[in-house]
Amino acid sequence: NLYINGTLAGSVASATLSASSMIIGYYYSSAYSFQGYLSDIKVVNGTAVYGGNFTPPTEPTGNTNAVFYVPCDNAGIFDKSGNNTLTIVGNASTSTTQTKYADTSIAFDGSGDYLEGPSTNTVTNFGTNDFTVEFWFYTNTTTSQQNLLDNIGGSSNGIYIPAGGGS
C-alpha cells in the first residue's frame, strides 16, 4: 500500500523488489533528480508498519525495527540505525530552509547530488516480504518527474513524484 499523509493512495497485490544499492534523491541513470528536502527516512524490512489509514506522526518515527534510519537530527546525514554507511554525492547537505521534525533536513538542488547506500540485502532486497519505507519530503517543483528513492544498476524500482505532481 502507498499512503500519502496517512491516506491510502494506491496498492499493489504482489510485487518483488530488489536492488543492488539504494540511492536517495536521484534516478539510477541521472535523469529526474529530486529538487527539495527530505528527512526522517526509515526502512523497515519484513513488516508493514501501517495496516490502514493513519494519522501521520507529529514527531520523528525513531529507529524501532529500522534496518535504515536517517533522521537528519544534530545537523548530520547518517544512518542512526548504525547498520549502514551513506556516501554523500555532489552538494547534498543539511539545511534549515524546510524542516519537519528536526532542526535540519537534507537539501537536494537537482543537479547531480544524492545519497548512495546502503547495499545490504536487509535494506535493498524486499523480495515478496512486507516492508515499510517512510519519509517526509518537501519539493520545490512538480514540473518533471523527481525520484525520491531508487536503485543503482538496473531498471527503476523507486519511489517518485510524477510530472505535474499527480499520482
**37: confidence class by pLDDT, cuts 50, 70, 90:** very high
Q: What is the pLDDT of residues 113-139, one digit of tens each?
A: 888 876 666 776 666 778 888 888 888
pLDDT, position 159: 74
CA distance 92 to 110: 9
Interacting residues of 48 by C-beta distance below 8 A, sequence separation 6+: 1, 130, 131, 132
pLDDT, position 55: 94
Percent of the chain whose predicted confidence (pLDDT) is above 70 = 78
Q: What is the pLDDT of residues 3-31, one digit of tens each?
A: 889 998 888 765 556 666 778 887 765 67
pLDDT at 166 over 60: no
pLDDT, position 112: 84
pLDDT, position 157: 61
pLDDT, position 13: 66
Phi-psi region of 36 (alpha: psi -120 to 50; beta: other; left: phi over 0): left
Determine which of 36-45, 53-62, 144-153 has the lowest per-residue pLDDT on average.
144-153
pLDDT, position 121: 65
pLDDT at 156 over 60: no
CA distance 28 to 11: 24
